[in-house]
Structure 1
């Protein structure tokens, strides 16, 4: 088209182009990733081809799964996301920080979360001194969470004690009990929305061995998993057992994005590579 749909002064036009460009770049495959990295990576920003583990994409326009966040429990049962210690690396003449470690046989990196504008969030900076506990979000979708927790309360494994029977009339009961949270977002720009689920399915898969079992044995605790809840298609915030429309797309027991009907299985890992976007200098 020779004409833009929106006039040049329109903020809407700039927003759409920015989001579409971000979503498109986040889905670039390994073949074109090196070229994208050379063109976009500023000094100190990181980014580029990134192996990751995400919840499995089942269908819809999203290019890939949403990244898991490995979790750990403290001595009182409070749940926090693992954040590796930052180190400075030099690559192709550029020096930048990265937080990276090995978990469950996979290379877990802060760059997993550098997509959909989250590369600009303060909590994604590798060296940022942030609270790694999952904090209850505002206006949660789940009645149990709204009744028991206030915004900013830390999630505890005891909050999920009925995970083998919990249900909310969407899909089957006992699939897994969820909570909505934020992570590494206090006092910074850019919120990292997270979903935490405790499920018997995860407990069982962690005992299987192989790539899947090794991942869950390292990245989960007592059936608890977490993932960054930002759809890789158009950066919306999907829902696990939150939408009455989900059964229409066979997603009643999984994660459903109401924006464009992308569907994910939070209980099956997807191992792949994507192009992480660079952080600002």
Structure 2
């Protein structure tokens, strides 16, 4: 990457979107660079096994790969929803099981197996047929702006992010992206699935020439499962000043073991998803 690309004059800040997948194939050149593949291999199991997922890139620390992306859409009444794959039945290792899987633009097969790690494979709300409206709901704790605007469990509205081009909280640069800490598919469930949703100009710009991002983001909104792939901790985007010591003041930082992630770099990851208990 040239210095002029890394620090464009018009923004006077680093261009974070890099390595995202473009076109109809995953093994090609994205909008700003080659696809990165983070991989981890081990024995496969029924209902799990080797899985290819799209994730926010792991950029440092002990985490083996990025955290899986959740495709976002805005409902007709203005709420943010995380898309869940279509549910079908298929045979794996001679056994018929339900799977949540569908082909999406950009040559991506979106699957519920993306989220089957760190014990989440045992959650009822990761089951393919779990009934949910899939709308993101505000967490009980989070950023100052969200705790002022939302009660825990309230549906997240797209119009809450109108100042996303200016928002800042004193950590890193202002205007990079406005976040909310939320839950997904967790209404009336025994377990909570933690997510982060961000609206950013960087995502809007990247999606212009990228089939996958056009299909998995909307109006600059992007989301991911916020469970660190190293030791299952919950990282933070712009939540601690310590992140600057690890170059993650404008990214995601896990304070437990210092893993870092770039939410504006979407990469292909290959890992072994854990089988669901009932499988």
Deviations 1:126-146 (A, max 9, x none): 011113000000022x11001
1:85 deviates by: 2.1
Alignment TM-score, normalising by the size of structure 2: 0.84
Matched-pair contact (CA < 8 Å) for 1:130–1:184: yes
Q: Give the deviation of 1:190 after TM superposition.
A: 1.9
Superposition deviation, residue 186 in structure 1 = 1.6
Structure 1 Cα separation of the partners of residues 109 and 204 of structure 2:
22
Give CA-to-partner distance per residue, 1:20-55, whole Å, 9 cap, x none: xxxxxxx973xx44xx11xx43xxxx1001110000
Paired residue for 2:193? Answer: 192
**What are the residue-to-residue correspondences of 1:37-56 with 2, within 5 Å?**
37=44, 40-41=45-46, 46-56=47-57
Q: Give me the CA root mean square deviation.
A: 1.2
User: Does the CA contact (< 8 Å) of 1:131 and 1:183 recur in 2?
Assistant: no
Corresponding residue number in structure 2 for 1:10: none
Mean Cα deviation higher: 182-191 or 231-240: 182-191
Which has more helix, going by share of residues?
A: 1
Max Rg structure: 1
- CA shift, 1:273, in A, is 1.1
> Residue 180 of structure 1: CA displacement?
0.5
Structure 2 unpaired stretches of 5+: 1-37
Distance 2:271 2:190 in 1: 24
Paired position in structure 2 for 1:22: none
SS in 2 for 1:245: helix
- What is the deviation of 1:151? 0.5
Q: What is the aligned residue count?
A: 240
Aligned to 1:19: none
Identify which of 116, 127, 139 aligns with 1:114: 116
Between 1:85-94 and 1:192-201, the stretch displaced more is 85-94
Alpha-carbon distance in 2 for matches of 1:228, 1:131: 17
* Residues 119-198 of structure 1: pairs in structure 2 closer than 5 A: 119-140=121-142, 142-198=143-199
1:272, distance to aligned residue in structure 2 (A): 2.0
Give per-residue Cα distances to partners, 1:185-231, cap 9 Å, x unaligned: 122222110000000000000012xxxx1111010000000000000
CA contact (8 A) 1:85 1:127 kept: no
* Deviation beyond 4 Å, 4+ runs, structure 1: none
Q: CA deviation at 1:96?
A: 1.1
Unmatched segments (≥5 aa) in structure 1 = 1-26
Q: Is the 8 A contact 1:179 1:197 kept in 2?
A: yes
